[in-house]
């Protein structure tokens, strides 16, 4: 980097929505160091919701997830050397190509296990992505150090912006939906994950809902618009036989974050919304099975920069997040479920009883630690 601060920066994150959310500490670090810089982020379509109303960005550029090579090259050509700094924030060939094309100066994250020759040739500087012993937040923030930027480990959740009229409309709409709950405090549950191997069971969600309702809490379900997610939530609501506010498919990610900020507690699996809940500062219970918490555990709100907040094994609390692991000896296996494909189940999660989650919820809600003996979990 030259001594002059860059005026334009492109950060490239061509992976899943959780990766996009967890690159926001890097964006925050760059913006804090260079407040006059215009920062853009390039992401894949379907992941841009993680950056909704992000105050550190000028714009979000969206590319098709499965674009043919010719289309990718055309996109790269359009951005040719338009930015003072191009940053590949994930260790992928696609991110590397976009950062190389766009940036007059280029930096990037490179897989530590195989530093490719063309990455060395295309980047002015690179950082090693220590996937086995560093959290994705701390690993990505190594890029900030390459350009003399002070790393700031602040995950920035999406939001609804600062416009007073929009905020007032949203508050009125949500308060209206909650009106039937007569002002009860509420807990947000996010039961569905994109991949089956990360999911708990419908029966255990139902048992948790019934316990929360018995303690005087309203229950809100969050989730995305996909049909499978809506159907999963509908099964839970029907089985619970309790009054539940089902907002699955009704909110943007920014609106979901706004709801979570108002909640007394959030419970969810290893999914992007659980990371959002942690970033919002809401007390959060994260249900973890095969995933490695060292790498992917939710980053607690206002947590200092460390290699990782989490141990590889063992349930524990850090800040506003309680990471609850399955009890099997193989956890975390880092596989995609027991059958090693995305739609297989994971015994470590299906055998995690509702009573254990409720015990942690009791602690997080600051309630007396007495768990009713009549709680029953159903492995459905």
pLDDT (0 to 100) of residue 72: 84
Listed as ranges, residues in the chain with pLDDT below 70 are: 1-3, 112-116, 179-182, 370-380
Domains of the chain by start residue, with CATH: 8-146 (3.40.50.2000), 167-364 (3.40.50.2000)
321-325/316-318 β-pairing: antiparallel
pLDDT (0 to 100) of residue 368: 83
Helix, coil or strand: residue 238: helix
pLDDT (0 to 100) of residue 181: 66
pLDDT one-digit tens code per residue, 166-203: 999 998 888 888 766 667 899 999 999 999 999 999 99
pLDDT (0 to 100) of residue 378: 44
pLDDT one-digit tens code per residue, 120-167: 788 999 999 988 899 999 999 999 999 999 999 999 999 999 999 999
Task: Report the distance separating Cα 261 and Cα 14, nearest Å.
Answer: 28
How deeply is 63 buried, as exposed, middle or buried, from its count of CB atoms within 10 A (0-12, 13-18, 19+)? middle
The model carries a pTM of 0.93
């Amino acid at each position: 980097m030259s001594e002059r601060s860059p005026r334009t920066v492109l950060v490239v994150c061509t992976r899943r929505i959780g990766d996009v959310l967890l690159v926001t500490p890097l964006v925050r670090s760059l913006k804090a160091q260079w407040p006059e810089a215009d920062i853009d982020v390039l992401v894949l379509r379907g992941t841009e919701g993680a950056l909704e109303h992000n105050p550190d960005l000028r714009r979000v550029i969206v590319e098709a997830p499965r674009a043919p090579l010719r289309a990718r090259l055309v996109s790269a050509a359009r951005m040719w050397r338009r930015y003072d700094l191009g940053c590949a924030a994930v260790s992928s060939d696609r991110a590397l190509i976009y950062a190389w094309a766009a940036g007059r100066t280029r930096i990037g994250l490179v897989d530590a296990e195989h530093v490719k020759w063309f990455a060395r040739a295309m980047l002015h500087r690179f950082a090693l992505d220590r996937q086995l012993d560093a959290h994705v937040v701390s690993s990505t923030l190594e890029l900030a150090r390459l350009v003399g930027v002070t790393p700031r480990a602040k995950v920035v959740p999406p939001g609804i912006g600062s416009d007073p009229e929009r905020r007032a409309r949203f508050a009125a709409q949500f308060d209206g939906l909650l009106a039937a709950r007569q002002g009860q405090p509420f807990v947000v549950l996010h039961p569905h994950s994109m991949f089956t191997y990360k999911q708990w069971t419908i029966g255990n969600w139902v048992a948790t809902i019934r316990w929360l309702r018995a303690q005087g809490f309203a229950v809100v379900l969050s989730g995305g618009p996909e049909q499978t997610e809506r159907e999963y939530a509908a099964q839970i609501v029907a089985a619970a036989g309790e009054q539940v506010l089902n907002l699955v498919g009704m909110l943007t990610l920014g609106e979901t974050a706004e709801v979570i900020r108002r909640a007394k507690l959030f419970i969810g699996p290893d999914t992007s919304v659980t990371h959002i809940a942690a970033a919002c500062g809401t007390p959060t219970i994260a249900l973890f099975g095969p995933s490695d918490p060292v790498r992917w555990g939710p980053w607690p709100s206002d947590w200092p920069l460390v290699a990782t907040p989490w141990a590889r094994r063992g349930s524990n609390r850090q800040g506003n997040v309680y990471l609850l692991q399955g009890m099997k000896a193989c956890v975390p296996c880092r596989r995609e479920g027991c059958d090693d494909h995305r739609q297989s189940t994971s015994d470590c999660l299906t055998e995690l009883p509702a009573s254990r989650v409720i015990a942690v919820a009791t602690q997080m809600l600051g309630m007396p630690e007495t768990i009713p003996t009549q709680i029953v979990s159903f492995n459905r």
